[in-house]
Amino acid sequence: TSAFSTRLGGVSEGYYSSLNLSFDRGDDPERVLENFKRIGASMGVNVEDMVLSKQTHTTNVRVVTAEDKGKGVMRERNYTDVDGMITNVPGICLVTSY
């Protein structure tokens, strides 16, 4: 399954309204988390199964494992400079920004 979002349908306000999916831009983290929950629900994915990239325009690719579940949404990432991700673990949702 793959999906692309718009900014419609979220809970962020003001400059960040409505479906802001960035914890790094100054939005209320609880609102961003709720936005991830909403987009996850629309795809049948739990936020605990999402793994976010940390894009910096490199050619670095991370092999995502079950231990990475929730990184970038539910817990801190222990990696930077990751522009691509691959996994062979069923149920992991790989999240990148464009």
Range of the domain at 2: 1-44
pLDDT in tens, 47-90: 999 999 999 999 999 999 999 999 999 999 999 999 999 999 99
Split into its structural domains, the chain has a count of 2
Q: ∠ at Cα 68 (67, 71), nearest 5°?
A: 140
Q: In this structure, what token pair is assigned to residue 8?
A: 């419609």
Confirm whether pTM is higher than 0.85: yes
Phi, psi dihedral angles at 94 (to 5 degrees):
-85, 125
For residue 17, the one-letter residue type is S
Residues in a beta bridge with 50: 93
Any idea of the CA torsion for 54, 43, 49, 82, to the nearest 10 degrees? -20
Q: Say what the pLDDT of residue 82 is.
A: 95
62 and 84 together in one domain: yes
11 and 36 together in one domain: yes
32 and 6 together in one domain: yes
